[in-house]
Amino acid sequence: VKTSKPRTTYHHGDLRAALLSAARALLDEGGVPAVTLREAARRAGVSPAATYRHFADKDALLVALAVQGFGEFAAAMKAAFEASREPMADMGVAYVQFAVDRPGLFRLMFGPAVADRSKSPELLEVIARATQLFDSGMKSRKDVAPGDPVAALRSWATMHGLAMLALDNMLPGYDPVMLAQALAKKGRLPG
Amino acid sequence: VKTSKPRTTYHHGDLRAALLSAARALLDEGGVPAVTLREAARRAGVSPAATYRHFADKDALLVALAVQGFGEFAAAMKAAFEASREPMADMGVAYVQFAVDRPGLFRLMFGPAVADRSKSPELLEVIARATQLFDSGMKSRKDVAPGDPVAALRSWATMHGLAMLALDNMLPGYDPVMLAQALAKKGRLPG
DNA sequence: TGTACATCAGTGAACGCGCGTTCACTGATGTAC
DNA sequence: TGTACATCAGTGAACGCGCGTTCACTGATGTAC
């Protein structure tokens, strides 16, 4: 499958962005294992070697995708936080929703594909930003002492675990987002 | 690395078990990606083709490992449940402990390596057994209505999320088991 | 107890695959004067 | 405004790798009579 039209110019113009978006499509279609330099190059209409003008190696491409992912994630959390008077509940639901909507990306972000995150300061920073947003949500929660780290971690772990169990098909027959609502709002299971 | 001594007999004797234990060692050493039929055969001192006398394909080997893993997991949960008057808390801690002790196995069991679990009735059954144990723990919990599915799921998701975040290096500097204790017992974060 | 023979569990060589990565190269671009 | 030249972003072919899997085969085992 070729995403881009054949080029007319020798130079691509914005190959880096094209490779990233091709890789992102691969991630969405087939998960982390489907992301390869060669296939991304193919879709961008370019030879495999050309990728090395823009990424030092495959890992650099994965890191770039993860950075992008955490950026989107932080934005989604922020949106849920700001649009609500129940920020923790809505952030929890948004967390699971994000994972369900972009399973490949979610796995890339949190999984072992990027082995050593500390090699990329940019990645560390965007992770810190996404995490901090989650923490600051905790601090405004009504029923919890501000900045209670145990409660913050509990909420995070709960939603992360729910997302993972859902992606990994351990909750067959349930709608993950409805489960997230039930857990976040301490309501009942529908059905 | 060769695990077994060179054979003296033409037939191996118990190649299936040898392959499984070699594969298990690979899993412990290098995670799911390190598990290959060829390397397992190498360690068992046997040609690659010999594996096909005992496993239909690679997926069958992975399924067998997962079955083994869920068996160990169920046993660990059962032990924690029976040894305690705070079964939920101790099962939670045991859950995280299991993941930390056997990260490769844990990932294989819950992750996407085994794509379609429904192809193996044996796997489905052992999963059901492990899950049911967790549920029955819920039912004896003092502070929760017996069989409350929301509370059961919440505990499960919380511990699973904590385990995953820990394995995926998202909680650097913390001891996952101590965090599990804090979350399970609703205590404070030490430090 | 001995023998013919089916069956089973291995061998060893080979297959095709797609991957990440490197290399010498060439076409296009941009800059200095 | 034109030209020499350095630099940049591509090409295309090739490398070695390890993998899962198949094939015709052979050595060992077990069973029927």
Probe site for chain A from B93, B96, B124, B168 (most A CB atoms < 10 A): B168
C-alpha span between A102 and A7 (Å, rounded): 30
Contact status of A115 with chain B (Cβ, < 8 Å): no
B174: left (phi over 0), alpha (psi -120 to 50) or beta: beta
Q: In terms of C-beta density within 10 A (0-12 exposed, 13-18 middle, 19 or more buried), how is residue A173 classed?
A: exposed
Question: What's the pLDDT tens digit per position in B37-74?
Answer: 999 999 999 999 999 999 999 999 999 999 999 999 99
pTM of structure: 0.92
| Inter-chain CB proximity B189 and A149 less than 8 Å | yes
List chain D nucleotides near protein: any atom < 7 Å from a Cβ: 9-14, 18-24, 27-29
Q: Using a CB–CB cutoff of 8 Å, tell me whether A153 touches chain B.
A: yes
Closest among A119, A105, A144, A91 to A25, alpha carbons compared: A105
User: A19: closest CA among A67, A30, A47, A112?
Assistant: A47
- The tens place of each residue's pLDDT in chain A, 191 residues long, gives 334 445 667 677 799 999 999 999 999 999 999 999 999 999 999 999 999 999 999 999 999 999 999 999 999 999 999 988 888 899 999 999 999 999 999 999 999 999 899 999 999 999 999 988 766 555 555 544 556 788 889 999 999 999 999 999 999 999 999 999 999 975 444 43
- Chain-chain contact of B153 with A117 (C-beta, under 8 angstroms): no
Q: What is the DSSP letter of B51?
A: G
Residue bearing the bigger pLDDT, A66 or B189: A66
Cα–Cα distances in Å, from B18 out to A111, B1, B11, B12, B38?
A: 30, 14, 13, 9, 13
Say yes or no: A170 contacts chain B, CB-CB below 8 A: yes
Token pair recorded at residue B110: 């819950």
> CA-CA distance, B173 to B101, in Å (whole number)?
17
Could you tell me where the beta strands, DSSP code E, fall in chain A? none
Question: Count of CB atoms within 10 A of residue B130's CB?
Answer: 20
